[in-house]
Structure 1
Amino acid sequence: MSDVVDRLRELFEGEGGRDYLGEDVSMAQHMLQAAQNARAADAADHLVVAALVHDVGHFTGVVSGRELMAGKENHHDDAGADWLAEWFGPEVTEPVRLHVAAKRYLCAVEPAYIDALSEASVYTLDLQGGPMSAAEVAEFEANSHHADAVTLRRWEDAGKDANASTVDFEEFVPTIRAVATTA
């Protein structure tokens, strides 16, 4: 079994350095900013890690993030959660799995939320199914990880600031190791 920190470091330094699908930050900057937002909110360590790794499915899935922006849904939420399950429990993987659903949920329950989304996020919302129906909202709210996913979503949305200072991946290594079920 490979070391989770080494695997994540490779992603952040490799694919993570590329642009973030129509945003003004790289994918690594985006995920690091989301994790910084979680840490600033005094979130539990497992949520800091979930924020840090929420978009790894863009790199680890069969369909890349680039294909998503070309109009093909990549289900990076499921791909990332499934990949992360080798090292983390559901307290990390399920908010990751649900972070796209959380966007759809927030668009359904907070109509003004969609207006705050970036242009790229609005584009992908359509590919991801649009705002949830009332039945989907009820199903989402019944999931025991839905509140964490919504919180993660808000940190993610705020993690797209090209002018923000972003800490290095190494700042989160102790937290990753503390949360990982196998390192």
Structure 2
Amino acid sequence: MTTPTPLTGEELTALVDGLAGLPYGGEPVDQRTHALQTAWLAMDAGADDELVVAAALHDIGRARPVRAEHPGLPHEVAGAEFARRRVGERAAWVIARHVPAKRYLVATDPAYHALLSPASVASLKVQGGPMDEREVAEFAAHPLAADAVALRRWDDAAKDPDGPRLAMPTLLAAHARCVAARRV
């Protein structure tokens, strides 16, 4: 495993701000609003700094510069590749698994499917539908599965045009603490 070259605060700001106006698959928010709402929900739930940063970056594979680096990859895979190099392995795993976490939840939580937006229901079909028993067991056995499931739930809830958003200075502070912790 290689040590990531930490994402700078300026780069993080540029990436998040670059999501402004970028459509979010038929949802009533753009990608920037969605990213900052997801991060706010993570922080509100008491997530640690690394998971808050991962929440903000979970769809970063849709950002123009990341797509250009990883053309043709699904957004969660492109985002994970970016995060692996610039944030860390935990963030990369959680970002890569936020789509499978939806499939996991549909297979394991009878009430979950009803919470999905119409756009998310449509994308579920493309993503493979509910996991089968083997996939459920494999996903659940990973030590970071609970983080991916939490991120998925925040992701699903972060589609309110009037909902709270994490302020960029708060996200930057969480990111700076992550970078400082890796240096120790």
- Aligned twin of 2:34: 30
TM-score by length of 1: 0.86
Instruction: Pick closer, same or farther for the CA change 1:143–1:175 going to 2, 3 Å.
Output: same
Cα distance, 1:150 vs structure 2:
0.2
* Matched ranges for 1:85-96 at <5 A: 85-96=84-95
Cα distance, 1:39 vs structure 2:
0.7
The CA distance in 1 between the partners of 2:84 and 2:178, in whole Å, is 12
The CA distance in 1 between the partners of 2:88 and 2:106, in whole Å, is 28
How many residue pairs end up in the alignment? 172
1:20 aligns with 2:24: yes
The CA distance in 1 between the partners of 2:31 and 2:136, in whole Å, is 29
Letter in 2 for 1:145: L
Letter in 2 for 1:51: A
| Local SS of the residue matching 1:163 | coil
| Local SS of the residue matching 2:173 | helix
Counting aligned pairs with the same residue, the percent is: 40
- Aligned twin of 2:137: 138
Unaligned residue ranges in structure 1 (runs of 5+): 64-73
Unaligned residue ranges in structure 2 (runs of 5+): none
The CA distance in 2 between the partners of 1:90 and 1:58, in whole Å, is 19
Cα distance, 1:3 vs structure 2:
4.5
- Aligned twin of 1:149: 148
Cα distance, 1:168 vs structure 2:
3.1
- Aligned twin of 2:110: 111
- Aligned pair partner of 1:52 in 36, 50, 56: 56
- Aligned twin of 2:119: 120
